Amino acid sequence: MTDILLADDEPIILKGLQKIVDWQKLGADIVGVAGSGNELINEILEKKPQVVISDICMPGYSGIDVIKFIEENNLQIKVIFISAHQDFHYAKEALRYGAIDYIVKPIDKIHLEKVVRKTIHGLTKEQNEKDNYHKLAEFEQRKKQSELKAFFKLIIQDEPYQESLEKLKTEFKHPYFTVICMSIDQLYPRNWREKELSIATFAISNVIGELSSKIGQRIELTQSGYLINLINHDRGNMVDLAKEIRHQINKHLKLELTLSVGSTVANLKDVLLSYTDAITAMEKKYFIGCNQVITNDIDLVHSNEIDEQSIQEMQGNVLKALISLQYEQYMEKMGLLIDMVGHYAETKTSRESAISISYSIFKFLKFVLEEMDITFNEEFFDANNMLTQIHEQKTFSMLKQYLLNISNVIYDNVKQSGTSKEQNQMRLIKEYIQDHFHEQISLDKLAGLFFMNPYYFSSFFKKHTNENFKTYLTELRLKEAVKLLLQTDLMVYEIAEKVGYNNPRQFSDMFKKQFGTLPNKFRNRISE
């Protein structure tokens, strides 16, 4: 429907205009009426009609004044004048200012309908032409953007782009190029539906587009989960632009966004360098944290003292504290171990190193749990599930918190496993030692027989006997040696052999260390 305003200072004519034709049938709506030029201008500003049918002579502003107002304010309104005057001067002036027609009173219904139809048809034609022009312009713009995106993609993938460059180089209006890489920090695929993610990405893209348009032009791609923007600009600080983008998105969209800024280059062939800088800088986000603006010249705090050997040693300390059920010491050392992993991975700027080593540590702890025959939630400790969870942590600080939570669960499992199972296992170990102490048994051999890690076996044994394995075995052998010295006539070397010593000298030294005298002297003294 076409919106029409009617204006005449004579109320009878104004009412007659409303009834003289079937406006609905003509495809029009009467959205307002006015009885003076002043009132008509107010109605025009409020109702925003497409057509005005007005008397040319009215109190206040005349019809000519109104059409001048329309022209001066560039309002897209068609005007049809009606008047009792047949003076050609009025008609000429009205048409000069763009009036569609000039109808002389008394108004002829058929002529009015004809003029209105012509006006509506003209409006429709103009609108169609505008729509077609905009569609064509949008199509050309989309086509050009598509070509620019394809060109940008060729550059960052290090593929031949010379042919495209010749065609598109005139599209770049500014002398400098900078790549800005963006990562939405708080969106997780498992929590956000695709539609929500698309809306958020679209909103972010609009903010970036609005801010970057003030300094130049941009091309945007989605690559490897990042929003990649190539900014073509005049001289300026792109870090400041990135900070403003982050600020506006934090403030208005309530989202956290990390941006990395590549080096600024003055040649299209060097855009790959800017892109590589931006991607390398973004990799530091894992260690620096979210919602930051990062450049490649930001140095991470590296520690040259951390190596794989020191990580393994700390892992042993963690296990020792766990087996001893020393909670505070266990959690403290676990925190130190995770920090060591972080520092080690930082030296390589490698997220994958942090993930791989962390996963290995907890695979080892799971193995220890299994050796201790401790029950735990299989789904919780499922290898694939754990690796997925570790991968999903966006920063190392988030990974550390996740690993500390896992550490708590592991401790609870060990603590709640019950002592009767361990006591029964210890009884079997003691029985085996009692039956085989005269053989060449060692900690490694015994640990293997009871399906334990040697380090764990040593801690387990000390936990239940309050002495280490070697001391326990030595005391058992020497007690048996005392019995044989007192109850038999066996030679010292024979006794040594029977209690597990192949070297009589070693046996005598151990005996003297324990009892303060050599075996023969001990026997003689007791006999006296």
Residue 49 has pLDDT above 90, yes or no: yes
Residue 189, pLDDT score? 45
How many angstroms separate the CA atoms of 83 and 106, rounded? 8
Kindly state the tokens that stand for 475.
């005391």
Cα torsion 211, 214, 216, 219 to 10°: value is: 30
CA end-to-end span of the chain: 132
Strand partners, 258: 183
Residue 97, pLDDT score? 80
Residue 42 has pLDDT above 90, yes or no: yes
Q: Which amino acid appears at position 121 of this protein?
A: H
Confidence category of residue 180, pLDDT binned at 50, 70, 90 = very high
Runs of H (alpha helix) within 157-193: 162-168
Q: Which residues contact residue 382 at a Cβ distance below 8 angstroms, ignoring those fewer than 6 apart? A: none
Confidence category of residue 380, pLDDT binned at 50, 70, 90 = low
Residue 190 has pLDDT above 50, yes or no: no
Confidence category of residue 421, pLDDT binned at 50, 70, 90 = low
Residue 188, pLDDT score? 45
For range 58-82, the mean pLDDT: 89
How many angstroms separate the CA atoms of 145 and 341, rounded? 45
For range 448-473, the mean pLDDT: 87
Q: Give 37 or 372, the one with higher predicted confidence.
A: 37
Q: Which amino acid appears at position 184 of this protein?
A: I
pLDDT digits (tens, 9 = 90+) for 85-128: 665 677 677 778 888 888 888 888 999 999 999 999 998 898 88
| Strand 257-261 to 176-184 pairing | antiparallel
Confidence category of residue 347, pLDDT binned at 50, 70, 90 = confident
Residue 8, pLDDT score? 92
Q: By mean pLDDT, which of 8-17, 180-189, 383-392 is the weakest?
A: 180-189
For range 398-418, the mean pLDDT: 84
Residue 424, pLDDT score? 64
Residue 409 has pLDDT above 90, yes or no: no
Residue 449, pLDDT score? 83
Residue 404 in contact with residue 334, Cβ under 8 Å? yes
Q: Give 336 or 415, the one with higher predicted confidence.
A: 336
Instruction: Answer whether the bond into residue 504 is a cis peptide, omega within 30°.
Output: no
**CB atoms closer than 10 angstroms to residue 157:** 11
Mean pLDDT across the chain, nearest whole number?
A: 85
pTM of the model: 0.54
Using CA atoms, how far residue 56 sits from 4, 49, 91, 256, 498, in Å, is: 16, 18, 9, 61, 134
- DSSP H/E element including 213: none
Residue 155 in contact with residue 161, Cβ under 8 Å? yes
Cα torsion 12, 14, 17, 22 to 10°: value is: -100
Using CA atoms, how far residue 475 sits from 88, 434, 489, in Å, is: 134, 11, 22
How many angstroms separate the CA atoms of 281 and 53, rounded? 65
